[in-house]
Amino acid sequence: MGAGRQIFSACTRLALRARGVDTGRGLVFFGLPIVERHAGSSIALGHRVVLCSTCAGNPLGVNHPVILRTLRAGSAIRIGDDTGLSGAAVCAARSVSIGAGCLIGANAAITDCDFHAVAPENRRYNTSPDAVGCAPVIIGDNVWIGMNVIILKGVTIGRNSIIGAGSVVTKSIPPDCFAAGQPAVVRRQLSSAEDAAALRTRADGSAG
């Protein structure tokens, strides 16, 4: 990493810390992320996390900067060591936890809530926590999320698994498997490193 990139990343890290974000060592930023921490909530980035918010950080390009946003007091976003996100949006009304060594591909969206009430009465303005469904999202270590994947509330994705590009994940996915589709379902188990490598072309768009 060049001196200019190091200075930019250091300054961005300091700016995030000034907003109450817990930041680890060696963070790398390509462009400025959008980070909004609700009062009384927490956002924590592990060591050597990479946030790619411009096309310079991802060969496929990104539609928007990385977005990290907590929505309520008591909510939390946790991103583990050595994880990379490219133009991904992560929103937490309760909790989104992303493990270590993960690849979050271009323009993925991860949220633990519905944002609006299901009941039709006054849906436009009903933001009551009792009316808007939410449930924690947990992504295990070494998970690869392909480009344009959507992960919805209450989902757990087990360690080492791969989610194919363009999938919509509505239910939990076990460890060590390849899942894809709308909704995503398990397509096969990953029994070896060779299996994982063979699937890379099907889960395109990983973060750097």
Q: Tens digits of per-residue pLDDT, 9-20?
A: 888 888 999 889
Q: What is the CATH number of the domain that holds 44?
A: 2.160.10.10
pLDDT for position 30: 92
For residue 176, being part of any structural domain is answered with yes
For residue 100, being part of any structural domain is answered with yes
Q: Which domain holds residue 190?
A: 3-202
Side by side, the strands of the sheet bearing 67-70 are 34-36, 67-70, 89-92, 109-111, 150-151, 168-169
Q: Count how many residues are written for the chain.
A: 208
For residue 208, being part of any structural domain is answered with no
pLDDT for position 195: 57
For the chain, what is the radius of gyration of the CA atoms? 17
Cα–Cα distance, 49 to 83 (Å, whole number): 5
CA-nearest of 103, 73, 71, 76 to 87 is: 103
What pLDDT digit, counting tens, does each position of 111-129 carry?
A: 999 888 888 888 888 877 7
For residue 207, being part of any structural domain is answered with no
In the chain, the number of structural domains is: 1
What pLDDT digit, counting tens, does each position of 176-191 carry?
A: 999 999 999 999 999 7
For residue 82, being part of any structural domain is answered with yes
pLDDT for position 131: 81
